Amino acid sequence: MTQRGIEQVEKLRDVIQCPHCQYSLRGLAGEKVTCPECGQKINVALLISINWEGAWYKAPFYNMLAVPVAWVCLATIVLAICAFDYSYYRFDLRSMPFFPFLGFFVIWVVLIFAIAKQFGGTEGIVLSVLMHGILFGYLIGLLGSVPVLIRLFSDVINYQVGVQTLINILILIFFIALLYSTRRAERFVGGRCVRRYLRVNSST
CB of 199 to Zn ion, least distance (A): 22
Encoded one letter per residue, x for contact with Zn ion by CB under 5 A and - for no contact, window 7-46 reads -----------x-xx-x-----------x-xx--------
3-state SS, residue 23 = coil
Interface residues for Zn ion in 75-104 (CB under 5 A)? none
CB of 45 to Zn ion, least distance (A): 17
DSSP one-letter string for 40-93: -EEEHHHHHHHH--S-GGGSTTHHHHTHHHHHHHHHHHHHHHHHEETTTTEE-G
Distance CA 13, CA 47 (A): 9
Closest CA to 141 of 153, 151, 149, 130: 149
In the bound state with Zn ion, the residue whose beta carbon lies nearer, of 11 and 20, is 20
Any bridge partners for residue 42, and if so which? Answer: 33
Interface residues for Zn ion in 149-188 (CB under 5 A)? none
CB of 18 to Zn ion, least distance (A): 3
Alpha carbons within 13 angstroms on the beta-carbon side of residue 23 total 15
CB of 135 to Zn ion, least distance (A): 40
CB of 186 to Zn ion, least distance (A): 31
In the bound state with Zn ion, the residue whose beta carbon lies nearer, of 16 and 116, is 16
Total residues binding Zn ion (CB under 5 A): 7
In the bound state with Zn ion, the residue whose beta carbon lies nearer, of 23 and 138, is 23
73-76 long-range contacts (CB < 8 A, ≥24 apart) are 73/135, 75/101, 75/104, 75/108
In the bound state with Zn ion, the residue whose beta carbon lies nearer, of 37 and 155, is 37
Distance CA 18, CA 25 (A): 6
Question: Footprint of Zn ion on this chain (CB under 5 A)?
Answer: 18, 20-21, 23, 35, 37-38
